[in-house]
A and B are shown apart, each in its own frame.
Chain A
Amino acid sequence: MARAISTRSKFGWTLAAWAVALIIFFPILYTVITSLKTESEAIAGFNLIPSFTLENYVEVQTQRDYFRPFMNSVIIAVGSTLLGIIIAVPAAWSMAFSPTHRTKDILMWMLSTKMMPAAAVLVPIYLLFRDFGLLDSRIGLTLMLMLINLPIVVWMLYTYFREIPGEILEAARMDGATLWGEIWYVLTPMAVPGIASTMLLNIILAWNEAFWTIRLTTTNAAPLTAFIASFSSPQGLFWAKLSAASTLAIAPILIMGWFSQRQLVRGLTFGAVK
């Protein structure tokens, strides 16, 4: 029997949900508000009404080039995602369609690498990057972000592929499809939604990654995360400009996330629900 919910308690829960949503959203909202204040307003203390000045945005663009770190972010996020997918698809494929008794262990082992704090490998990674000349390079960052997100990508794709019923592949085989016919006409179209939402999530994760992007870059390859951090420099803290830079940094991914939210939610809950 469905649980009966009275109108009053429904109203209460709705209110609570909105309150939680507002609390989660508040830091982003306050960042946007602060970006519209003058520097003196910004350090004056808590204030929700800005003077709606756009000077911070102008200065962020004129003093320091926004476009370069933006392009770095795009290249690193998209590059690491594509590279990750190329590596993860065959891996997830073989584990989903011809599993051995060790497959579960391998999956767990991959995931366990995500349980380690990133700072624990900072020094060896930094030294490796230095020795291979990868510091402050887009290639280096692309590789790094691909590697740290790879376990999640493999896991997500694995769960997607597992959802494709084996009988459908057998039906294709009975219908006279060759191995390539099977992959091209049946498997790929069925796997595309899964691959797409995995890519979306990975782009967001890579875009927002700050630990490695800040530590392994200086200027050339610095993406938007490093760009934001540069506003809290030794010369002084510029809250309003930092907020403007942050708003500019999160805007693209926020817009992308908004348009693809259905795909994303499906990606995050896939396998758990249904």
Chain B
Amino acid sequence: MGQITLKNVRKSFGATNIIPNINLEIENGEFVVFVGPSGCGKSTLLRLIAGLEDTTSGTIAIDGRDVTNEAPAKRKLAMVFQSYALYPHMTVAKNIAFPLKMAGESPETIERKVADAARVLNLSNYLERRPGQLSGGQRQRVAIGRAIVRQPSAFLFDEPLSNLDAALRGTMRLEISELHNQLKTTMIYVTHDQVEAMTMADKIVVLNAGNIEQVGSPLELYRSPKNLFVAGFIGSPRMNLIEGNPAADHGAATIGIRPEHLSVSTTEGKWKATVGVAEHLGSDTFLHVTADGVGPLTVRAGGEIGAHHGDTIFLTPDAAKIHRFTPDGLAI
């Protein structure tokens, strides 16, 4: 089980209100990602759920049980930290065994569970090493191993991949997703990387300045962002946001069009634009252009396009994919 309910949760440090008021329901077995820019309160929210910070007011319930004032260990949650937070003086085996030892399990049970976890995480050959002798990816696996042996009701991940290089990040992302498919345990994952959020989540919670901007599946957020913040945050490259006359033509204060929803032509189109920078990735071409009467735009064209700096191109937005926003930034 691992159903988590936050009711009117508030957190302030002195006079600073980090989290003004949050209500959130996390279903059993869900993979939920908290995403937002740095300082938006996503890590604080995770630490409140973990019990590493006290709530200023409001209640946190796990499987219907109010745990607001309970110690972290009593909440039956496991956490993986950004810095891995392994015990440097213990071997990999002892690191993984630590929560079991604290729970008073018998040496035989500990040995069996550590061996199981090591096998799942490909750590069997490293059990006698110290964390200092491992690579970043291996350390992260040990941290995950330490979390899974306890069979917690939910896993909490605090930006676990941000210390890894890009290639390893991709691999670990898959491994964590696979782990979730195997264990089917609730996972709450904090990241500022919207690619991680989009690829891993069942449900994304977009946070900004301590408030929830929108909750939904990755594609819901992509297709129908509720406001300008979510529109600008979800999707890579970012959605183009256009104000002024082109927006007024659509009866909105601001319109948004994603880079992949602009079609490129060398002969005709709605907007005439000059190419500034062309990024050729092979599979895609990103064009950073300045369109007459519209302003700077980013265009994502599939495959290889022979556009270079200074070229003139024509762009046409896909009318069905235009997002419209009110002056307050809310989606129309």
Contact = CB atoms under 8 A, between A and B. Distances in A.
Interaction A to B: yes
Interface of A: 165, 167-168, 170-178, 181, 185-186, 189-190
Nearest to B87: A186
A168 B52 contact: no
B15 interface: no
12 contacts: A167-B81, A168-B88, A170-B81, A170-B85, A173-B72, A174-B72, A174-B78, A174-B79, A175-B102, A177-B98, A178-B73, A185-B98
Contact of B99 (A175, A186, A190): A175
B96 to A, nearest CB: 10
Given A177-B102, A181-B102, A190-B89, A165 B72 contact: no
Contact of A175 (B52, B73, B82, B89): B73
Contacts, number: 59
Contacts of B102: 175-178, 181
A181 B103 CA distance: 11
Contacts of B73: 173-178
B77 A174 contact: yes
Interface string B81-108: 1110111110000000011001100000
Nearest to A181: B102
Contacts of A181: 102
Given A181-B102, A189-B89, A175 B71 contact: no
A151 B82 CA distance: 35
Interface residues of B, number: 22
A171 B89 CA distance: 14
B50 interface: yes
Nearest to A189: B89
B274 to A, nearest CB: 40
A175 B83 contact: no
Contact of B85 (A171, A176, A177, A185): A171
Main secondary structure of the interface of B (DSSP, over half): loop
Interface in B228-279: none
A168 B103 CA distance: 18
Nearest to A179: B71
Interface in B143-181: 146, 150
Contact of A174 (B50, B83, B86, B88): B50
Contacts of B146: 171, 175
Nearest to A190: B89
A200 B83 CA distance: 32
Interface string B55-93: 000000000000000011100011101110111110000
A168 B146 CA distance: 13
Looking at A170, A172, A174, A178, which has the most chain B CB atoms within 10 Å of its CB?
A174
A170 B143 CA distance: 13
Contacts of A173: 52, 71-73
Contacts of A189: 89
Interface string B34-51: 000000000000000010
A254 to B, nearest CB: 31
A53 B310 CA distance: 93
Contacts of B52: 170, 173-174
Given A165-B85, A168-B85, A189-B89, A175 B98 contact: yes
Contacts of A176: 73, 99, 102-103, 150
Contacts of B98: 172, 175, 177, 185
Looking at B50, B71, B79, B85, which has the most chain A CB atoms within 10 Å of its CB?
B85
A175 B147 CA distance: 8
Interface in B123-154: 146, 150
Nearest to B50: A174
A178 to B, nearest CB: 8
